[in-house]
A and B are shown apart, each in its own frame.
Chain A
Amino acid sequence: MLSAILVNGLVLSGIYGMLALGFALTYGVARILNLAHTAFYMAAAYGLFFFLGRMGFAPAALLASLLVLLIALAAYKLLLEPLREHEATVLIVTIALALLLQEAVLLLFGAHFRSVPALLPGFVEVFGVRVAQQALLALLFAGVVLLLAWALLKGTRLGLGIRAAAQDQEAAELVGISLSRAGNWAVGLGAFLAALAGLAVAPMATLEPHMWNAPLLVVLAAVVLGGLGSLPGALLGAVVLAFAEVTVVNLVPGGAFLRTAVALLILVLVLVFRPEGLFGTAFAEER
């Protein structure tokens, strides 16, 4: 049982980690609480399903993620950036965007459950647990993607600018970082990470137009748990919540009903004791 929790928790951590890092980037730099974030992930999974019928896996995955990137950047430039002063309006525009994507998918593919064939079919035994090879591949993929994202953020000037903007917008602007450019990059990178998470999940999960609801809550909780604006915090939050979810499903009778509830309960408890999250910084504007 313990090893099952460990292995499944790690796989889920990888997926949530990619989603949470993308979300944290979008919020930290562009200050958009993007409720359409996991809708991008759903769109990428469906994109993969659509393109797979026409070409091989690699080009299909590339096309699907580029499509999502295009949608996200267009939405940011046309809808979100002009409305930035109106916070509540931005919030419902992202909700409307998520609904729009959901309904477009519903129209194009119907409400049936769809599935993408696994790239690596078959199972292996890890610590005495039968694990789909596809899940291990997804874990590996998530690890590589997160390492690359980390290298980009830590090792380049662009990454330095993005991290600076996430920490303190005013100070970043004072030292000559273009907030609008950092915003473009952060939104693009965030959507791209969501798309990659969608690609990793597609072969393991059933695709349906409402598949964005449950991960959205977990991602929101993970990012807030780690502290808004803190990128390592978002990753840590994702790992904590992924393991909490897997533990509850495995140990508590009827746990499947409680999986999201427990994640959110942890969030509430942590925030009561540390109102700014685990690694949160107080934003300059809110100081």
Chain B
Amino acid sequence: MTSPLRIWSLPWALRYLKHEVLALPGRTAALLFVLFLLLFPLFSQDPYLLRVLTLTALFALYAASWDLLSGYTGQVSLGHAFFFGLAGYASAILGRELGLPPALTIPSGALLATLAGVLVGLPSLRLRGPYLSLVTLAFPIIATGLIFLFPRFTGGELGLSGLPRLGQSRLEEYYLVVGIFLLSVLFLWKLAGSRVGLFFHAIREDEVAVRMVGVNTVRYKLLAFAVSAFFAGLSGGLHAHYLRVAGPDSLSLFNSIQPVIWSVFGGIATIYGPVAGTFLLFPFLEALRVAEELRMLAFALLILLVMRFLPQGVVRGVLERLEEECPRCKVKNAFTRKACRACGVPLHLEAREVKP
């Protein structure tokens, strides 16, 4: 459809912007979202707002990593907090024992999470559906039990506090986290759109059929576990250093369920859906702190109502109304257009009465 983006040619880039980005509501929203994240500190440097946005970006990466494994590949993980929490603890303990800076310990934590992802993924070769979900659910809970059992090494109930900060100032931390978030999500999105992503889709739909055409599904499932665990671990490590504590909360059942809620709310198997879901729900939950007692009640009610009427998730539900596919060339068009922007076919064929 479109040739690769030639950003070195300004007129070409402008034309691309006009015809391929601004022509579609979904892409315009994505562009505005990235600009908003990058330019936000120019308008406000309120520490509270920066903190909420930083945490939201961290959790959005966490949700997107869940989506790659569970939305695309269909291996529904109910224990994603295992990777998130494990990387946080690993980073904290490495920093404490070896005195390494966060720039080294966070990636090592994420790599350890990747290893854990492959280990957790091994049962997936034999288990399917709810059986696998339940096995993944077990891991963070077993880990929590071990953490409480060895409080000298792990800090027990209080966790390990006083971790080194990510950056010198709030602003530096914000840009670091937002930068990592944007790059990681771009990577996940490109991966999901690639040939590998196609295999992930296919494994979810019918694994036997994929194996029949000669694809090594074991390798792809383990790859999905590894990549997903890496990014969950990355966000977990950043989260621990941002809050400066790695505690058992990061392994709790609630923390495993959270990415599921955000992703399904936004729309699974899209990567941008979980990001949108997190950026809608997490700040909403923060804003509800004005009414602390009704906070979770309103949150649960909102989820029930929205899911009842947009069961495929908010992003898909809204985009379906704002964009439509050309019946002939399958290019997406804004809902305002009368004819397809690529091939000129009329989009809304009005039902005319056929004269006999």
Contact = CB atoms under 8 A, between A and B. Distances in A.
Interface of A: 27, 33, 78-79, 82-83, 85-86, 88-89, 91-93, 95-97, 99-100, 102-104, 106-107, 213, 217, 220-221, 224, 228, 254, 257-258, 260-262, 264-265, 267-268, 271-272, 275-277, 286
B301 A271 contact: no
B142 A92 contact: no
Nearest to A259: B145
Nearest to A82: B308
B130 A261 contact: no
Given A96-B304, A107-B297, A221-B138, A257 B149 contact: yes
Contact of B297 (A82, A104, A257, A264): A104
Interface stretch (B121-129, B183-191, B217-225, B230-238): B121-129
A267 B141 CA distance: 12
19 contacts: A33-B130, A86-B312, A88-B71, A88-B264, A96-B307, A99-B300, A100-B301, A103-B294, A103-B297, A103-B300, A106-B293, A221-B138, A257-B145, A261-B145, A265-B138, A265-B142, A271-B134, A275-B128, A277-B131
A276 B76 CA distance: 17
A213 to B, nearest CB: 7
Given A99-B296, A275-B131, A89 B311 contact: yes
A251 to B, nearest CB: 14
A83 B131 contact: no
B260 interface: yes
7 A-B pairs with least C-beta separation = A261-B145, A264-B138, A257-B148, A103-B297, A100-B300, A99-B300, A96-B303
Contacts of B149: 254, 257-258
Nearest to A78: B308
Contacts of A264: 137-138, 141-142
A93 B130 contact: no
A272 B301 CA distance: 38
B146 interface: yes
Taking chain A's interface residues, is the majority helix, strand, or loop, or is none over half, making it mixed?
helix
Nearest to A220: B134
A270 to B, nearest CB: 10
A93 B307 contact: yes
Contacts of B257: 95
B142 A261 contact: yes
B138 A268 contact: yes
Nearest to A80: B308
Interface of B: 70-71, 76, 123, 126-131, 133-135, 137-138, 141-142, 144-146, 148-149, 253, 257, 260-261, 263-265, 268, 293-294, 296-297, 299-301, 303-304, 307-308, 311-313
Contact of B300 (A33, A97, A213): A97
B297 A275 contact: no
Q: Which of B261, B294, B307 has the most CB of A within 10 A?
A: B307
A83 B297 contact: no
Given A103-B294, A217-B141, A268-B138, 4 more contacts: A95-B257, A97-B304, A258-B149, A264-B138
B215 to A, nearest CB: 20
A220 B137 contact: yes
Contacts of B135: 267-268, 271
A106 B293 CA distance: 9
B131 A271 contact: yes
Given A228-B131, A275-B126, A99 B299 contact: yes
A260 B307 contact: no
Nearest to B134: A224
B157 to A, nearest CB: 10
Contact of A96 (B145, B148, B300): B300
A33 B129 CA distance: 11
A226 to B, nearest CB: 12
Contact of A91 (B127, B264, B294): B264
Contacts of B142: 261, 264-265
Contacts of A220: 134, 137
Nearest to B144: A261
Contact of A217 (B71, B123, B131, B253): B253
A83 B307 contact: yes
A245 to B, nearest CB: 12
A93 B128 contact: no
B311 A224 contact: no
Contacts of B308: 78-79, 82-83, 93
A276 B294 CA distance: 42
B306 to A, nearest CB: 10
A107 B129 CA distance: 36
A224 B131 CA distance: 6
Nearest to A33: B130
B204 to A, nearest CB: 11
A33 B301 CA distance: 20
A42 to B, nearest CB: 15
Contact of A213 (B127, B253, B265): B253
Contacts of A271: 123, 126-127, 131, 134-135
A95 B262 CA distance: 12
A179 B261 CA distance: 29
A93 B131 contact: no
Contacts of A102: 296
A103 B304 contact: no
A92 B260 contact: yes
Contacts of B148: 254, 257
Contacts of A82: 308
A85 to B, nearest CB: 8
B131 A260 contact: no
Contact of B268 (A78, A88, A96): A88
